[in-house]
Structure 1
Amino acid sequence: MEIGVTLYEKIIKEVVPVSSTGTAELTKLLENIYRAVNIGLVNEMKIVADKMGIDIWEVINAASTKPFGYKAFYPGPGWGGHCIPIDPFYLTWKAKEYGINTRFIELSGEVNTMMPQWVIHKVMDALNDKEKSLKGANILVLGLAYKKNVDDTRESPSVMLMELLREKGANVFYSDPFVKTFPKMREHFFDLDSIELTEGSLNRMDCVLLSTDHDHFDYEFILQHSKLIVDTRGVYKGHYQHVVKA
């Protein structure tokens, strides 16, 4: 333990030692699980709000004005990265050795895992409203990374969205300034490069699916030149005839 503290003191401003490696690992898992459960909660609330015709992002912003007792988490098309979609389930597995069912972890996993399917249904409904089928439609997924302003695609919900779209017969494209070519992945493959967002490329798309809200995207330009946008990140505030929040 002392060796570890000595090592990390050289690169970290504050090292917080604990009594054992088990405590340290469970600390890391608790932080991951805290995010997983809260993301699952807000994703479920998004579905409820959608059915009620209420903007969940407006609700979250209003709740955030409370000066104590509330921390904002934001919904999206699912969860991603190496930590929260995977690490909490190590604890689920280990807890079974002690006769414990970790219900919060498993419930959050169910909610977050089904979010891509829910988003695809929103895309289908949005296209239907324009008398367009998902099969044969040109769909552009904005953002391949699992979160904004990074190039990390591990467990990215964007990839699952692309898989679901392809399964339903859509012509799938993506644009991501951080991921120029679709990377080698264990379970997924698309022979695609990131496309440049131009007036022409956007006009060719039947739907733009905003999955990862990179700051590099020119959202006003995208809004002006897209026929239909399905926004999973709450980028577009207010109401636009061709923007569907999902």
Structure 2
Amino acid sequence: MHVDKLLNMFKNKEAVIGVVGLGYVGLPLAVEKAKAGYKVIGFDIQESRVEQVNMAINYIGDVVNADLEEMINSGQLQATTDYGRIAEVDAVAICVPTPLDIYQQPDTSYVKSSAIEIAKYAQEGMLVVLESTTYPGTTEEIVKPALEAKGLITGETVFVAYSPERVDPGNKQFKTKNTPKVVGGITANCTKVAASMYRSVLEGDVHEVSSPAIAEMEKIFENTFRHINIALANEMAILCERMGIDVWEVIDAAKSKPYGFMAFYPGPGLGGHCIPIDPFYLTWKAREYNYHTRLIELAGEINNAMPEYVVNRTMHILNEDGKALRGSNVVVLGAAYKKDIDDVRESPVLKILELFGEQGATFSVVDPYVKHFRLSDISIETVELTEELLENADVVLLTTDHSDFDYDFIAQNSAVIFDTRNAFKDVAKPNKYFKL
């Protein structure tokens, strides 16, 4: 009976949907569900974030300002810190952070607290979907018991599923609405109702799998795949530099093969909330099964060492002019972890700047998307890109290849450039130009 009721509510857009966590995943999802015709209530423990949403002030790059404003003004979307309003919703998605703790072990405390709060106010017939990236087993080990402790029966009086978020900040082609979704429920009915909800909202395909663990594992597999292949590209870059070979030309040549090769590129290190973190969820879980994920951990070592490699290369570049890193003026182009976004979470640039500071270098940071950020306990203000700034630099280090950078202008006014992204490939370069 509950299954049919939910399916009809999704078919007719009569369900009230909750989204717990209004960050990079939750807010875009909440807006898309509201645009699809649902009444949506967003939940977040940060009062400032809730106030911004209710005032239609957008803080997520992948959300269109006009869409958020329209959904707020029409009453389709509202935000609250009051978890008691969970009692008003028919379905809820959990989109909270899953970071690592200081020991590089999974911190599922946000998932646990969200599941407990939802369980307090859950009603019979509710759908609960976890979207946060986590280790296989989380949905059944944390979310399911919290709901069943209230007396609800999974697959009968409450429906529990896992559907991993797939968000690529700054991607111009694939957004929340048109990216395919994977859904795995604890029972067949759980999968059925969860898939029905997503199909009523998204344009992308909804791929059903047999369990939450399958969906949880596939998400980590996606990011581990990228993690390992980026590590290979980084290792190739280090070797090619020693051999005097252009690794970027090597990759361009390799990707001419129409099968059996997918291009990944080197860089100054990994950033964001996914690729640097998610593989460690798997390595941690693997220990429970007496298995050591050697390849994943080795890839982590390679990628984590790239900021130090970049700093060492910078030191050698300065040495060629008889300069020490200590006392040198370094202009760093980019703070965000990838191009055309404002996200500095886990950005390798932060580690690079820390190392510059430890070595006594002076640095200025330019980023058109980031006005300020924290480096340890210090607030760093980014600066304007000017001719004077570039001319006074002992070396210009390109760490984030934003489209907004005027690469011709930078090249014309810089004496020494170290490019970690091959961003200057199509412009006339100074005599002292170095690539990763």
TM-score range, shorter chain: over 0.9
Q: Larger radius of gyration, structure 1 or 2? A: 2
After TM superposition, give the deviation of residue 144 of structure 1 in Å.
0.5
Say whether 1:168 aligns with 2:376: no
Aligned residues: 243
CA contact (8 A) 2:227 2:300 kept: yes
After TM superposition, give the deviation of residue 240 of structure 1 in Å.
4.6
CA contact (8 A) 2:415 2:430 kept: no
Q: Show CA shifts across 1:156-185 (max 9, x none).
A: 011111111011001121011110112x47
After TM superposition, give the deviation of residue 17 of structure 1 in Å.
1.2
What is the CA–CA distance in structure 1 between the aligned matches of 2:344 and 2:201, rounded to whole Å?
Answer: 27
Q: Show CA shifts across 1:102-144 (max 9, x none).
A: 1111010010000111111110011011111111111111110
Match of 1:142? 333
What is the CA–CA distance in structure 1 between the aligned matches of 2:404 and 2:201, rounded to whole Å?
Answer: 30
Match of 1:213? 401
Counterpart of 1:111 in 2: which secondary structure?
helix
What is the CA–CA distance in structure 2 between the aligned matches of 1:68 and 1:90, rounded to whole Å?
Answer: 31
What is the CA–CA distance in structure 2 between the aligned matches of 1:189 and 1:130, rounded to whole Å?
Answer: 33
Counterpart of 2:388 in 1: which secondary structure?
helix
What is the CA–CA distance in structure 2 between the aligned matches of 1:227 and 1:191, rounded to whole Å?
Answer: 29
Counterpart of 2:207 in 1: which secondary structure?
coil
What is the CA–CA distance in structure 2 between the aligned matches of 1:237 and 1:190, rounded to whole Å?
Answer: 34
Match of 2:20? none
Say whether 1:236 aligns with 2:397: no
**Structure with more relative contact order (C-alpha pairs < 8 Å, separation 6 or more):** 1
In structure 1, runs of 5+ residues without a counterpart are: none
Scaled by the length of structure 1, the TM-score of the pair is 0.95
In structure 2, give the amino acid aligned to 1:224: Q
CA contact (8 A) 2:417 2:430 kept: no
After TM superposition, give the deviation of residue 5 of structure 1 in Å.
1.3
CA contact (8 A) 1:173 1:192 kept: no
CA contact (8 A) 2:331 2:397 kept: yes
Which of 169, 181, 185 is the matching residue for 2:372?
181
After TM superposition, give the deviation of residue 9 of structure 1 in Å.
1.6
CA contact (8 A) 2:337 2:344 kept: yes
In structure 2, give the amino acid aligned to 1:244: F
Match of 1:23? 214
CA contact (8 A) 2:364 2:383 kept: yes
In structure 2, give the amino acid aligned to 1:245: K
Match of 1:49? 240
CA contact (8 A) 2:412 2:430 kept: no
In structure 2, runs of 5+ residues without a counterpart are: 1-190
In structure 2, give the amino acid aligned to 1:145: A
CA contact (8 A) 2:390 2:414 kept: yes
Counterpart of 2:289 in 1: which secondary structure?
coil
What is the CA–CA distance in structure 2 between the aligned matches of 1:106 and 1:142, rounded to whole Å?
Answer: 30
Say whether 1:60 aligns with 2:251: yes
Which of 204, 209, 224 is the matching residue for 2:392?
204
What is the CA–CA distance in structure 2 between the aligned matches of 1:227 and 1:11, rounded to whole Å?
Answer: 52
In structure 2, give the amino acid aligned to 1:12: L
Taking only the aligned residue pairs, the percentage that are identical comes to 50
What is the CA–CA distance in structure 2 between the aligned matches of 1:178 and 1:54, rounded to whole Å?
Answer: 33
Scaled by the length of structure 2, the TM-score of the pair is 0.54
Match of 1:152? 343
Match of 2:37? none
